[in-house]
A = this chain, B = another copy of it.
C-alpha cells in the first residue's frame, strides 16, 4: 500500500496491491534496468526454445497474482529493450518518462477517440496538437484538418483516399468502376506501405509507378515528369505523387519544391510521407530539409518516430478542410447523433475509416508540455549531431565504409569490412562475400545482447548496416560503442 492513502477497502476493490507490484516491477525491470547501458538489451532465444521458457498456455483455470507477477517478470526478461541506449534497430527507440506517463494515463482512462461525448479532453488536445503541427508544416494560418491513424501506412492510405475522392467524388458510392486507371508516383526508395495501400484500396500495385532516385536516394524530378508523361501516353490517369521525407533505409529527403512544381503543372495531389523524418519540422536548424512541404496537400507524420513518442502515435494532416469528413463519413446515427447537447462538430470520429480509435494524442501532448517546442528542437538537433559524429568516425576508422558519405537524416548506412576482406580487389565475389558479414554480426549482437542495428541490401548494394538514431537522447559514447562493438564482433569474419 506504499504511498497511497485510501479509505478502507478501496485499494482492495481495485486490486491495488497487484497494480502496485506491477508498477514496481515495470519501474525496476523495464524502465530502470531496460534503459541501463550496463544491462543486456535482450536475452535472445530461438522461437522453439522461447516457447518452453515461459508458460504461454491458456487454461480453464486462472493463476494467482504471484504467478502472474512472475510471468510478467519473464515477459520483460525476454523482451527486446527498445529504450536501451544501444537499440538502433528501428525508426522508433529511446525512453521518455513523460511519454510513458502519458501512455499509462491513457490506458487508465480507457476510452475511444470518436466523440467529444466520451473523449472531451482528448478531442480538444487533438485539435490543439494538429493546429501546431500544421503550423510546423507551414500551412497558411495552420489551417486544414487532421486525424490520428494507427501508423504511417494507414496515413499514407488516407493520402490516396483523399486524392482519389477529391478528383472523383463518385468513387465513394461507385467504387473504382468507370474510373480511368489511376496511377500514383513514388520514389524507388519510398516505403513499402504505398505498395500495400494501392493494393488494399483497389488501385493495384501495377499502378504504383516507381520513380528513379538520384545517387543519394532522392526522387529525381526529371524522371518524375517523364514518368507522368509516359503514364498519360499509356492512357493512365496520374492522380498523386508521394514524396518522402526521409526514406526508410538511407534517410533521403525528396526535393519537395521541384515535386510541388510538377504536381501543380499536371494537377496532381501531393502527399508527403514524413512518417520518419517529419520531426525535423521542429528544428529551426534542420527544417530546411523539408523546404517546400508547405505546398503539399497532405502529410503522414509519426511522432512515435523522430519525436520519441511511445507507439502508436501517427498523424495524418491535410491542408483541405472538410475533405476528410466528406470522403469517409457514414453518419452512423447511433454514434454521431445530431441532437446532442453540444456542438457536434467536435465529434471527429466520422473523419476516420475506423470506428473505435485508440487515444494516441495524450502522450504526445504531455511530452510537448514537458519539453516545449525548444525541448523537441534540442533533442532532434542532438540526434543529428550524433549522426554526423558517427559518420565522421566511421569515415576515419579502418574497416568501415559509409554507403553515402554525408547522412542527410539520422540514418547512417555503412559496411563493416573485416580484416580478411580489406585491401583486395572489389570484385562481384568480394561484394557477395561482404554481404554475408552483416547478418553474422547481427546474430552475434543478438546473442550477446549488447547492441541492435538493422541491416539490409538496397538495389545492387549487398547487406549493409542501417544505423538509425531515433533515440533523441543518444550520446557520443554510444556512437563510439557502436564502432568498437561491431569491430569486436566482426573482426574474425
Contact = CB atoms under 8 A, between A and B. Distances in A.
B173 A202 contact: no
Contacts of A95: 14, 110
A443 interface: yes
A368 B58 contact: yes
A117 B44 CA distance: 9
Contact of A175 (B48, B78, B176): B176
A54 B121 contact: yes
A132 B57 CA distance: 9
Given A83-B110, A171-B202, A206-B175, A153 B355 contact: yes
Nearest to A345: B47
A209 interface: no
A22 interface: yes
Interface string A257-279: 00000000000000000000000
Most B CB within 10 A of own CB, among A76, A124, A365: A124
Contact of A120 (B27, B79, B175): B79
A101 interface: yes
A32 B120 CA distance: 21
Interface stretch (A381-389, A425-433, A450-458, A483-491): A450-458
A283 interface: no
Most B CB within 10 A of own CB, among A200, A201, A365: A200
A342 to B, nearest CB: 6
A287 interface: no
Interface stretch (A59-67, A316-324, A401-409): A59-67
Contact of A32 (B14, B32, B334): B14
A252 B3 CA distance: 47
B111 A79 contact: yes
Given A192-B332, A203-B175, A358-B311, A372 B61 contact: yes
Interface stretch (A4-12, A215-223, A224-232, A288-296): A4-12
A460 interface: no
A334 B466 contact: yes
Given A98-B68, A328-B196, A333-B457, A177 B181 contact: yes
Interface in A345-396: 346, 353-359, 362, 365-366, 368-375
Interface residues of A, number: 167
Interface in A23-60: 23-24, 26-28, 30-32, 34-36, 42, 44-48, 50-51, 54, 56-60
Contacts of A144: none
A265 to B, nearest CB: 26
A104 B50 contact: no
Given A3-B2, A121-B75, A192 B330 contact: yes
Nearest to A21: B101
A120 B153 contact: no
Given A2-B3, A101-B72, A174 B62 contact: no
Copies of this chain, tallied across the complex = 2
A455 B457 CA distance: 56
B31 A19 contact: yes
A122 B103 CA distance: 19
A199 to B, nearest CB: 5
Contacts of A119: 79-80
Contact of A204 (B59, B174, B302): B174
A151 B352 CA distance: 12
A188 interface: no
A107 B104 contact: yes
A475 interface: no
A222 to B, nearest CB: 26
Interface string A430-443: 00000000010011
Given A110-B310, A372-B60, A4 B24 contact: yes
A356 B45 contact: no
Interface string A155-188: 0010001000000000111111100010000000
Q: Which 9 A-B pairs have the closest CB atoms?
A: A202-B202, A175-B204, A150-B150, A15-B97, A2-B3, A176-B176, A341-B443, A103-B107, A334-B456
18 contacts: A3-B24, A18-B101, A22-B104, A58-B132, A62-B372, A76-B108, A79-B111, A80-B118, A89-B117, A90-B356, A100-B108, A150-B354, A151-B355, A153-B353, A153-B354, A173-B206, A175-B198, A337-B439
